[in-house]
Structure 1
Amino acid sequence: MITIRARTVTDSPPLVALWERSVRASHHFLRETDIDALRTLVAEEGQHGLRGFIGLSDNHVEMLFIEAAARCGGIGQRLLDYAVALSGDLTLDVNEQNHQALGFYQHYGFVQTGRSEVDAQGNSFPLLHMQWQKR
């Protein structure tokens, strides 16, 4: 059973750990220093049973991370379904080199609307800008 709930203060340490496991499983292009810098950003934003999380800013998906061992179990789709129900038309940015995530978002119905040569921190990790198309 998948339960979706709002984040609590006690969720932060296990969410950061989940984020790091997910990043290491999918973002092979990141260097250790990149992960260290991003970990600090994620921590600013253990509880047993956490398998994934989504971060939204209005209708923009800021982050979506699924426990590596829990992938392909429907959690990402459920979180996006929840975000669509809350916000309607969704947008997001995905690292161009993260082929797993790109394929997942395309399968869900996102289409590319633009591209940036650098990420939000100015690093040379190109981003694809995407928007959800209603099914």
Structure 2
Amino acid sequence: MIRVANKDDFPTLASIWYTASVEAHDFIPASFWAAQKINMQEVYLPGADTWVFCLDGQLAGFVCHHQGFIPALFVDKSCQLQGIGQQLLTFLQTQYPALSLAVYAKNQAAHRFYQRHGFVETERKTCAHSGEEEIHMHWHQA
């Protein structure tokens, strides 16, 4: 089930984000992500339109939308590879006619995931926060 996130969800979502970020981005020190966890919980999640995926009454993943951009799509490690990320992304694609995002070039699994869902690369540039190369991608309804 996908529903709108509420403020009580934010601590759990920040934990899902942190754990998934550290694992998917092992090329960036965990301290980088740890330094952002409070901002994720108190600024970024409340500042975006955020939806959660509930599985058996538990928060299993979430997706955020902010001004045409997807700043976050993360699934709890114990729930990955069950189609939750795909369902969250497909949900957004039914809500908006165009979406953009950025993914780290070294996160090849995420890059392939978005390509499979119709996103195309628009540019590559260095992330000002991490110094890592990002791939910017865009999708629009046909």
SS at match of 1:30: coil
Equivalent positions of 1:95-114 (< 5 A) are 95-114=104-123
Aligned to 2:50: none
CA drift of 1:25 comes to: 2.2
The number of aligned residues is 130
Q: Given the two structures, how large is their TM-score scaled by the length of structure 1?
A: 0.87
TM-score by length of 2: 0.83
CA distance in 2, matches of 1:66, 1:107: 17
Q: Distance in 2 between matches of 1:68 and 1:99?
A: 17
> Where in structure 1 do 4 or more consecutive aligned residues deviate above 4 Å?
none
CA-based RMSD: 1.8
**Counterpart residue number, 1:91:** 100
Instruction: Judge conservation of contact 1:89–1:133 (CA < 8 Å) in 2.
Output: yes
- The CA deviation at 1:132 is 1.6
Cα distance, 1:41 vs structure 2: 2.4
- Corresponding residue for residue 139 of structure 2: 132
Which residue of the other structure, out of 11, 23, 26, is the alignment partner of 1:25? 23
Equivalent residue for 1:57? 66
- For 2:16 and 2:105, how far apart are their aligned partners in 1? 22
Per-residue deviation, 1:26: 1.1
Q: Per-residue deviation at 1:77?
A: 1.0
| Bigger proportion of residues as strand | 2
